[in-house]
Amino acid sequence: MTNKKIAQQHHATFEGIRQADAEGNEFWLSRPLGKVLDYSEYRHFLPVIERAREACRNSGQAIVDHFEDVLEMVDIGSGARRELPDVRLSRYACYLIVQNGDPGKPVIANGQTYFAMQTRRQELADDKKFAQLNEDEKRLAIRNELATHNKHLAAAAKDAGVETSLDYAIFQDHGYKGLYGGLGNKEIHARKGLKKSQKILDHMGSTELAANLFRATQTEEKLRRDQVSGKAQANKTHFEVGRKVRQTIDELGGTMPEKLPKPESSIQQIESLQKKLAKTKTNTKAEK
């Protein structure tokens, strides 16, 4: 059998053990995956899963989003079944597992190719779906993603020495000042004409939110990659990343973020409207 046919066979096997929950979210279970990856016993596969968890933690991702410990009914022979511990895995978790598997196994190399390829396909599909959203839907999608990445950024900043709430506020301000040409949170807040209780991120259009998302993700990566230590250095890093994002916008001929218009509706108003529409849609279906 040729290498190409072997690879196709392994890819088909990986896809064959993929499952989906009631909401359509795909997942893999670790026990079947271990067998596909040619581990004769599950106990030999457990260290690979742990290395993948650690890789997930080091990447700043929330482990619980990709590795979920569960109990599954498993056949143990003679028609008997027993509940055994298993792990529900996301596509990203599977990718990390094959990256941390035994490189001497041909199926591991094929697994790396498979998950990398499928992940990229999903990214492209998501890009296409995103392009079809209207402005409010784009704003909501980016704001939700930014909320998640801000948690990762906060964790990376804490590891660098940004510990107290005041420390983090100052750290965030440095990022804004880099991106907004010297304007901090307070100044941006005032330019948008917001009340004290309102958050500036909830009153940004999709373009401005995207710039801030890029600032957050790139700062997190740089803090971890460069192993930044100390509040002063963390603040400097955030400012430099923000300034670099601003420079990129300028080079591309884009509008500076502080000059972008404030949307008429807030993120909370968009969410409220979507809930009302969803409720109306559900009631209409029930009446039919």
Summarize pLDDT for 200-210 with one digit per residue, the tens. Answer: 999 999 999 99
In the chain, where the domains are located: 3-128, 134-266
In this prediction, residue 124 has a pLDDT band, given cuts at 50, 70 and 90, of low
Closest CA to 52 of 61, 41, 43: 61
Q: Give the mean model confidence (pLDDT) for residues 97-118.
A: 71
Q: Is 82 helix (H, G, I), strand (E, B) or coil?
A: strand
Q: Give the mean model confidence (pLDDT) for residues 242-269.
A: 92
Comparing 267 with 91, which gets the higher pLDDT?
267
Lowest mean pLDDT among 27-31, 152-156, 279-283: 279-283
69 has pLDDT over 90: yes
In this prediction, residue 244 has a pLDDT band, given cuts at 50, 70 and 90, of very high
130 has pLDDT over 90: no
Under 8 Å between Cβ of 170 and 178: no
Comparing 124 with 136, which gets the higher pLDDT?
136
In this prediction, residue 288 has a pLDDT band, given cuts at 50, 70 and 90, of low
pTM of the model: 0.59
Count Cβ neighbours within 10 Å for each residue of 71-99 and write b for 16 or more, e otherwise: ebebeeeeeeeeeeebbbbbbbbbbbbbb
9 has pLDDT over 70: no
- Structure confidence at residue 1 (pLDDT): 38
In this prediction, residue 42 has a pLDDT band, given cuts at 50, 70 and 90, of very high
112 has pLDDT over 70: no
Indicate the residue type of 278. Answer: A
2 has pLDDT over 60: no
52 has pLDDT over 70: yes
Under 8 Å between Cβ of 223 and 231: no
